[in-house]
Amino acid sequence: NAGVMQNPRHLVRRRGQEARLRCSPMKGHSHVYWYRQLPEEGLKFMVYLQKENIIDESGMPKERFSAEFPKEGPSILRIQQVVRGDSAAYFCASSPTRTSARIQYFGAGTRLSVL
């Protein structure tokens, strides 16, 4: 069984460009979570999505960041007009149901570097 797949594993962008991070959850999982890990810091919750719904986006910066999980295809975390402070590892996790949301399986992450 494939685990949570994230791509790309590494992404380099120049300031002002857009970054698109993709996450395919584990088979049978319909709940996706995004976390950000800044250097020397722990993981911080960003957003929780179910298919076609944003359940909790309380950890998302108010500007430039958006996330979606369409009916078909992977979940996308989009960062517009990236700045150096966006450089971090972005992790996606998935769980099968809402009531098992505490059991989250993580992907290997996307390491974003903004030049």
CB 70 within 8 A of CB 53: no
What tokens appear for 95 in the block? Answer: 């769980």
Segment near another protein (CB under 8 A); pick from 11-19, 61-69, 71-79, 94-102: 94-102
Does the protein bind another protein through residue 56 (CB under 8 A)?
Answer: yes
Does the protein bind another protein through residue 59 (CB under 8 A)?
Answer: yes
What are the angstrom distances between the C-alpha of 65 and each of 54, 69, 102? 13, 14, 24
Decide whether 18 or 56 has the Cβ nearer to another protein: 56
**Cβ contacts of 72 within 8 Å, gap of 6 or more:** none
- One of 22, 64, 66, 105 touching another protein (CB under 8 A): 105
- One of 43, 74, 87, 96 touching another protein (CB under 8 A): 43
3 CB burial (10 A radius; 0-12, 13-18, 19+): middle
Does the protein bind another protein through residue 34 (CB under 8 A)?
Answer: no
Decide whether 46 or 82 has the Cβ nearer to another protein: 46
Q: In which residue are the tokens 């970054």 written?
A: 19
Does the protein bind another protein through residue 69 (CB under 8 A)?
Answer: no
